[in-house]
A and B are shown apart, each in its own frame.
Chain A
Amino acid sequence: MDRDALIRRFVDAIGPQGVISERNQLRTYECDGLANFRVIPSVVVLPETADQVRAVVRACREAGVPFVARGSGTGLSGGALPVSDGVLVVLARMRRVLEVDLDNQRAVVEPGVLNLQVTKTVAGDGFYYAPDPSSQQICSIGGNVAENSGGAHCLKYGFTTNHVTGLEVVLPDGELVHLGGKAPDPPGYDLLGAFVGSEGTLGIATKVTLRLLRKPEAVRTLMAAFEGTDHAGDAVSRIIGAGIVPAAIEMMDALAMEAAEAAVHVHYPEGAGAVLIVELDGPQAEVEHQFAEVERLCQEAGSTTIQIASDDEQRALFWKGRKSAFAAVGRISPDYYVQDGVIPRTALPEVLRRIADLAEERGLRVANVFHAGDGNLHPLVLYDGEVEGQEERAEELAAEILFACLEHGGSITGEHGVGFDKKQYLPKQFGADDLEVMQLLRCAFDPDGRCNPGKVFPTPRLCGEAPGPRRVHPAERAGLAEVF
């Protein structure tokens, strides 16, 4: 099937308004939230129903063409980067909230529904959807499922994977399957758990059943300033050590504060080297008691000033400063690289010092914004692309930071995903056998490797037919690929 024939198939299946094939229009989709990488796809389709997704995927299968799914395109690892000879399946038009079932604390939504929209839909009834990535105003639930998105409040409430109980998925062969549902403990393999966070490499989710939580009775938030990140880190250790599980503990260093201040005027204390935002939520009496303890522990760790959010508005301002920090860095640096790495929380002071040393060695600045409670760092490497060599040095530094995370037993990504950006680092975190076993899962879902190819894993794997006598794959015979 040539490109024109494929386009005709798409138009037949979903109508001309859902198919984009003009090169200048295709450019809109050449990258996701990680703009360093750009690829113009062959065709973009915007299906509106699961049946249309199936038709598209079947046509791709028959044509032997790869496809990439995309939600809002806010991902930061190039997970929705198109492939040049492939089809980009944009789920943004599948935006219906299909069902709200408060008695079972579930909502069933289409993948293009925006994260914050779920909370807005049920807020009037006193419920909310817990995962809250910083991009929650524009990122889609389908994208959250692909990336297993986190957010500031996942310290207490977990990640997307803990809040998705059911999925309808179009598999790479065009079959439709249902994984999980509203009832707990469905018999069989937890393919739902394997699918969430698979970065679009196992299929396309067309319906998502989400867990809704009851809004807590009380929420208390404080912002504590410290001389430096060591003292702030000590406060975090004391809070966790006291057996308190805050809803969130976020840290920003001086440079991150400078950027956020310029953007949203939070009025961070003068001269502070680090701030912590600590939020507690739950039943009133418990929250009040523990909040007083958190205040005391921050003081004991040397906090210079503590501001307590007096109302929802001030709380929102604390969070606005934190959640806009990435974008705000654009105000203090022409270019910057957003890194995402994880360390055991207790290694925080050591790793922050290492990052500072590495930055100094390369003559670059790093702003640190992170989820301090779970050791998820977001160092922002500042550079000027106009200055020769800076971009390369920034990339090197960003990579060195990941290696430092791995040396401390951490991970190369806590929530942004491996995607296209970090696939070469995955073998530094996992051994060859580990990666091969992961590929077994891929082979069960996508034996032809046509679903978001070239992402997550550094080397494509050919899936042998099993069981039965092993056959030599044509690509292997031609010396184009290696079989593991």
Chain B
Amino acid sequence: MAATLEGLERDGLVRPATAADAVDGVAAELVAEPASVREAGELLRAASRAGLRMAVAGGASKLGLGNPPERLDLLVSTRRLDRVLEHAAGDLVVKAEAGTRLADLQAALEPAGQWLALDPPEPGATVGGVVAANASGPRRLRYGTVRDLIIGITVVLADGTVAHAGGKVVKNVAGYDLAKLFCGSLGTLGLVAEATFRLHPRPAAAAVVTLDVQRPEQAGEAVRRLLRSTLVPSAIELTRAGWGSPGRLTVVLEGIRPGVEAQAATAAELLGEVGEAEALGPGGTEAALSQLGALPWEKPDVGLKVAVPPAELPGVLADRLWDGPFRLSAHAGTGVLRLGLDGRGDAEQVAGLVGEARERVAARGGNLVVAEAPAELKRAVDVWGPPGDAVELMRRVKRQFDPDRLLAPGRFVGGI
């Protein structure tokens, strides 16, 4: 191994790993930080020739997602791939290298009054990490997820092949949509090196209306009414600090000032028919927006992500999730729930809780993923859950892209 990578080491591309470079508790031997797509290609080619097992990290904010890799020799960091390559403001398009921090990208877009309409909760997340982990936030209700916004991609396969798909125009059906294939692939098909996105105008004004929620059915009814109305909320969030505390539904309306005010008034009226509703003042709005979509867990908690058809939300909560020991932060309008629970409890007991919840979620047409958990618990549960009848097809895709299983082996769905 050392011989093959010697040249790269001499160039300072590869360094020995430290404890901080472990992926989900699995230590790497080496770390590489390529500074260009070409360098990334050379690195992966050399590493694959040496048979090194690799994983990719951006901001390292979601390394807890998935199973721990079976083995890890080389951690490839996109830290130095951090340039915003092109911002065509008139075309509402931006192209950036994968290691660009999302926050930095947003700051670069702000002077033009634009933003990439993604608001994932993980601080320090990079563009590539958001793509690879399919990270999303509250405003997905209005703008969709990264798959809906990505229009071009550059990837590096395990063997060093550099390939592009899509382009820099929003509308484009030439060739296969590999950008979508790489969304959520968690570094198991290749390294996401560059991505191009469509942008949106940054809303000039925001208003927030809240509803106190005593029971899940009440939240369900409120969401149903909102979605049936002609309001266009950016986000509908349901949060609850913990077992026994009251819940709160937060409706975010964004756009131009007169439009937002009219929508907020309608929303307050509509929610008032369901319970205690309040249109927040400027201070309250700012506070609500700053907390919007925060993860209901931190290490060493267990974090569960549940996704159901949105109308199933009250039912799924009533199935012992509301009355269980969970902290809740849900994108109630899209049916994505995040649940945090104490990870210091007995692993077997927690695993049992997860298993039961998963069955009930599946019965309602949804899925449950263990998004964060101590290593001990990960050994006791299947973090992804049943992969469905397309898993064999997914394995075939993996075999085509990474035939030697060098990229994050075992981390993904179905042991991919």
Q: Are B258 and A285 in contact (CB under 8 A)?
A: yes
CB nearest to A167 among chain B residues: B390
Q: Is B35 an interface residue (CB 8 A)?
A: no
Residues on A with beta carbons closer than 8 Å to the beta carbon of B147: 190, 193
Q: Are A147 and B389 in contact (CB under 8 A)?
A: no
Stretch of A63-71, A154-162, A267-275 with 4 or more beta carbons under 8 angstroms from chain B: A154-162
CB nearest to A178 among chain B residues: B389
Stretch of A113-121, A302-310, A432-440 with 4 or more beta carbons under 8 angstroms from chain B: A432-440
Residues on B with beta carbons closer than 8 Å to the beta carbon of A240: 90, 92
Q: Are B90 and A158 in contact (CB under 8 A)?
A: no
CB < 8 Å A-B pair total: 275
Residues on A with beta carbons closer than 8 Å to the beta carbon of B174: 411-413, 418, 422, 426, 429-430
Residues on B with beta carbons closer than 8 Å to the beta carbon of A188: 184, 384, 387-388, 390-391, 394, 412-414
With known contacts A185-B307, A191-B393, A289-B256, A243–B90 Cβ distance under 8 A? no
Could you say which of B113, B173, B390 has the most chain A C-beta atoms within 10 Å of its C-beta?
B173
With known contacts A181-B365, A344-B93, A194–B413 Cβ distance under 8 A? no
A342 to chain B minimum Cβ distance, whole angstroms, is 5
Bound CA–CA A159/B311 (angstroms): 24
Q: Are B397 and A158 in contact (CB under 8 A)?
A: no
Bound CA–CA A161/B173 (angstroms): 10
Bound CA–CA A477/B391 (angstroms): 33
Q: Are A182 and B309 in contact (CB under 8 A)?
A: yes
Q: Are A374 and B178 in contact (CB under 8 A)?
A: no
Residues on B with beta carbons closer than 8 Å to the beta carbon of A179: 390
Residues on A with beta carbons closer than 8 Å to the beta carbon of B307: 183-186
With known contacts A183-B366, A240-B90, A289-B256, A198–B171 Cβ distance under 8 A? no
Q: Are A437 and B161 in contact (CB under 8 A)?
A: yes
Bound CA–CA A435/B176 (angstroms): 9
Bound CA–CA A467/B48 (angstroms): 14
- Interface set, chain B 165-192, CB cutoff 8 A to A: 165, 167-178, 180-181, 183-185, 189
Residues on A with beta carbons closer than 8 Å to the beta carbon of B384: 187-188
Give me the 9 closest cross-chain CB pairs, A-B, nearest first.
A193-B180, A286-B259, A243-B201, A217-B230, A103-B311, A437-B163, A285-B262, A440-B400, A466-B403
Beyond A194-B181, A197-B176, A429-B167, 19 additional pairs, beta carbon < 8 A: A103-B310, A103-B311, A104-B310, A189-B397, A190-B180, A193-B177, A214-B230, A240-B92, A243-B201, A289-B256, A346-B90, A375-B91, A410-B169, A411-B171, A437-B161, A438-B163, A441-B181, A444-B397, A467-B404
Q: Are B168 and A435 in contact (CB under 8 A)?
A: no
- Interface set, chain B 352-380, CB cutoff 8 A to A: 365-367, 369
With known contacts A184-B334, A214-B229, A444–B169 Cβ distance under 8 A? no
Specify which of B161, B170, B181, B305 is in contact with A189 (CB 8 Å cutoff).
B181
Bound CA–CA A241/B113 (angstroms): 9
22 A-B pairs (CB sep. < 8 Å): A105-B310, A154-B171, A182-B365, A185-B145, A188-B413, A189-B181, A193-B147, A194-B181, A245-B201, A282-B232, A283-B232, A283-B255, A286-B256, A289-B256, A289-B258, A344-B90, A345-B90, A414-B172, A430-B175, A434-B165, A441-B178, A463-B400
Q: Is A330 an interface residue (CB 8 A)?
A: no
Bound CA–CA A375/B171 (angstroms): 8
Residues on A with beta carbons closer than 8 Å to the beta carbon of B309: 101, 104, 106, 182-183
Q: Is A452 an interface residue (CB 8 A)?
A: no
Q: Are A441 and B90 in contact (CB under 8 A)?
A: no
Q: Mark A461-475, 1 if CB is under 8 A from B, else 0.
A: 001001100000000
Q: Is B1 an interface residue (CB 8 A)?
A: no
B298 to chain A minimum Cβ distance, whole angstroms, is 22
Bound CA–CA A229/B60 (angstroms): 49
B45 to chain A minimum Cβ distance, whole angstroms, is 12
Specify which of A184, A418, A422 is in contact with B336 (CB 8 Å cutoff).
A184
Residues on B with beta carbons closer than 8 Å to the beta carbon of A243: 113, 201-202, 204
- Interface set, chain B 88-138, CB cutoff 8 A to A: 88, 90-93, 113, 134, 136
Q: Is A171 an interface residue (CB 8 A)?
A: yes
Q: Are B171 and A418 in contact (CB under 8 A)?
A: no
Residues on B with beta carbons closer than 8 Å to the beta carbon of A320: none
Q: Are A441 and B256 in contact (CB under 8 A)?
A: no
Q: Is B224 an interface residue (CB 8 A)?
A: yes
Specify which of A178, A282, A409 is in contact with B169 (CB 8 Å cutoff).
A409
Q: Is A443 an interface residue (CB 8 A)?
A: yes
B198 to chain A minimum Cβ distance, whole angstroms, is 9
Residues on A with beta carbons closer than 8 Å to the beta carbon of B230: 214-217, 283
B196 to chain A minimum Cβ distance, whole angstroms, is 10
Q: Are A426 and B134 in contact (CB under 8 A)?
A: no
With known contacts A217-B230, A374-B170, A286–B396 Cβ distance under 8 A? no
Residues on B with beta carbons closer than 8 Å to the beta carbon of A39: none
Q: Are A190 and B181 in contact (CB under 8 A)?
A: yes
Residues on A with beta carbons closer than 8 Å to the beta carbon of B336: 184-185
Q: Is B275 an interface residue (CB 8 A)?
A: no
CB nearest to B134 among chain A residues: A185
Q: Is A177 an interface residue (CB 8 A)?
A: yes
B291 to chain A minimum Cβ distance, whole angstroms, is 22
Q: Are B177 and A197 in contact (CB under 8 A)?
A: yes
Q: Are B171 and A429 in contact (CB under 8 A)?
A: no
Q: Are B90 and A414 in contact (CB under 8 A)?
A: no
B93 to chain A minimum Cβ distance, whole angstroms, is 7
Bound CA–CA A415/B258 (angstroms): 36
CB nearest to B228 among chain A residues: A214
Q: Is B410 an interface residue (CB 8 A)?
A: no
Specify which of A158, A171, A346 is in contact with B148 (CB 8 Å cutoff).
A158
Bound CA–CA A436/B178 (angstroms): 12
Q: Are A162 and B171 in contact (CB under 8 A)?
A: no
Q: Are B308 and A183 in contact (CB under 8 A)?
A: yes
Bound CA–CA A283/B256 (angstroms): 11
Q: Is A301 an interface residue (CB 8 A)?
A: no
Residues on A with beta carbons closer than 8 Å to the beta carbon of B93: 344
Residues on A with beta carbons closer than 8 Å to the beta carbon of B204: 243
Bound CA–CA A427/B220 (angstroms): 51
With known contacts A285-B262, A289-B256, A150–B171 Cβ distance under 8 A? yes
Could you say which of A343, A429, A442 has the most chain B C-beta atoms within 10 Å of its C-beta?
A429
